[in-house]
Structure 1
Amino acid sequence: MLRLARAPDLALAAIWLDVLREAGIQAWLQREFLAGGAGELPPDQCLPEIWLADQRQERAAREILEALQRVPQRRWLCACGETVEGGFESCWQCGRPMPL
């Protein structure tokens, strides 16, 4: 087994794990219940980790995680004149949906 990555929190670790498994990569989540131990244990030792069963899948798994961390942020101009940035799919000024 090979440790692939430490996630900053359990929610992100779960997303990474799901995406890896959907890609056919055998991966497991470790340290998922240690967050409550932070303070008694060093905080960096309590972060959730993604582990691979097969080291031959490391390169593909790393490419997937890197792609997840480089998701482009969109910027679009709403019909009301408001510039909307980030991952928003509706305008925060008027509520109109993002144009296709």
Structure 2
Amino acid sequence: MLRLTQAPNIAIATLWADLLCEAGLTASVQRQYLGAAAGQLPPDQCLPEIWLRYEEHAPRARALLQQLQELPQRRWQCRCGELVEGGFEQCWACGALMPREP
């Protein structure tokens, strides 16, 4: 097993591990409950970690996480009037897809 990276919190760690698993890479979250020991242990040692079962998956896993962190950020007005910001391509108010540029 190989420790791939630390995540800033359990929600992000779970998201990253799920992304890797969906891509066919066996990943797990470790230290997910160690945050409760913060104050007793140094904070940087209490962060959740993403571990890979197979070391040979590390280059592909790092590339996938890099792509996830570099999602384009957008700001667009939906035809229903909702202002949509971030990496979203679908309106959360009406479900319409972001219009494509010509």
Q: TM-score, normalised by structure 1?
A: 0.80
Q: Which residue of 1 aligns with 2:8?
A: 8
Task: State the shift of 1:99 in Å.
Answer: 4.6
Partner secondary structure for residue 65 of structure 1: helix
Q: Percent identity?
A: 53
Structure 1 segment 1-100 matched on structure 2, within 5 A: 1-77=1-77, 85-87=85-87, 90=91, 99-100=98-99
Unmatched 5+ stretches in structure 2 = none
Aligned length: 97
Q: TM-score, normalised by structure 2?
A: 0.79
Unmatched 5+ stretches in structure 1 = none
Looking at structure 2, the residues matched to 57 and 28 of structure 1 have their Cα atoms a distance apart, in angstroms, of 13
In terms of Rg, which structure is larger? 1
CA distances 1:1-44 after superposition (whole Å, capped 9, x unpaired): 11101000000000000010011101121101101100111000
